[in-house]
Structure 1
C-alpha cells in the first residue's frame, strides 16, 4: 500500500452535496454515469492526491454516517471565518495540547474537522 486514494462520503443527494463541497473549496474531478442509474462524483482539494467520492448506492453506508475526516489547516482561524462567511455552521475552535480543531457538517450530517498543529 502506498497512500489513501479515494474516501467515500455517503450522501442522499449527490448534486446538493457536490455544490456544498465545491463551495468549501473542493474541485470536481469527474462526474459520470456508472450504470444502474448511479453516478460517480469525485472531488478533490487543489494539488492533493487524496480525493472524495459522493456515494448514494451503498446501503451499508447511509447518508450522514461518515465521521472523523480530518482536514489539515495552516490557518484554522482564517478557514473557519471563510467557511462561516459561506454559510457553513462551524463549531468554535477547540484548542488542545495536540492542536486546534473545528468541526462542521455537510448537508447530510457527515462531519469533518479542520486541524491545525
Structure 2
C-alpha cells in the first residue's frame, strides 16, 4: 500500500472586516500577505502565512467556509515562547504572559474578530 502524506495547508478564519484583518495579520503581526484578490464584487480571497509555516490562513468575502460569527482557535508551535511574546509586544500586539504548563510554555493572543491563537513552545520532560 502506498503511504500518503497528509499536509494541512490552509485554515479558514471568519472575519467581519477583511481590510482590518489584513492590517492586523500583515502589518501588526507581521505575517506575509501572500494573496489578496477580489475576483468579482462579493468574492474576495486573502491568504496569509506566518514566517516558516507550511500552513496558511485565509479569509475574505463570499467564501462561505465558516458560519457567520464563528471563530477559530489555532495552536502554533514556536521554538521559544519568550521570543514569540517579545516579537508580538514589539509589534504592539496584545498578548498574554508566558503560561508555564506541564506540556509546554504558551503565549496567547486574539485578532479583532475573536479568533484565538496559542503559541506553544514544546517542553519535553527532563
TM norm. shorter chain > 0.5: yes
Secondary structure of 1:77's match? helix
Please, which of 74, 77, 82 is the counterpart of residue 69 of structure 1? 74
CA distance in 2, matches of 1:53, 1:59: 10
Aligned partners of 2:12 and 2:66 also within 8 Å = no
CA distance in 1, matches of 2:7, 2:72: 20
Q: Any unmatched runs of 5+ in structure 2?
A: none
CA distance in 2, matches of 1:28, 1:59: 19
Tell me the number of residue pairs that the alignment of Structure 1 and Structure 2 aligns: 116
Aligned partners of 2:73 and 2:117 also within 8 Å = yes
2:15 corresponds to which residue? 11
2:44 corresponds to which residue? 39
Please identify runs of 4+ aligned residues in structure 1 that moved more than 4 A: none
1:93 corresponds to which residue? 98
What is the CA deviation profile of residues 82-101 of structure 1, one whole-angstrom value per residue up to 9, with x for unaligned ones?
21222211112111111011
2:34 corresponds to which residue? 29
**Structure 1 residue 56 displacement after superposition:** 4.0
What's the TM-score, normalizing by structure 1?
0.86
**Structure 1 residue 46 displacement after superposition:** 2.9
**Structure 1 residue 39 displacement after superposition:** 0.7
What's the TM-score, normalizing by structure 2?
0.80
More relative contact order in 1 or in 2 (CA 8 Å, sep 6+)? Answer: 1
2:109 corresponds to which residue? 104
**Structure 1 residue 62 displacement after superposition:** 2.6
**Structure 1 residue 36 displacement after superposition:** 4.1
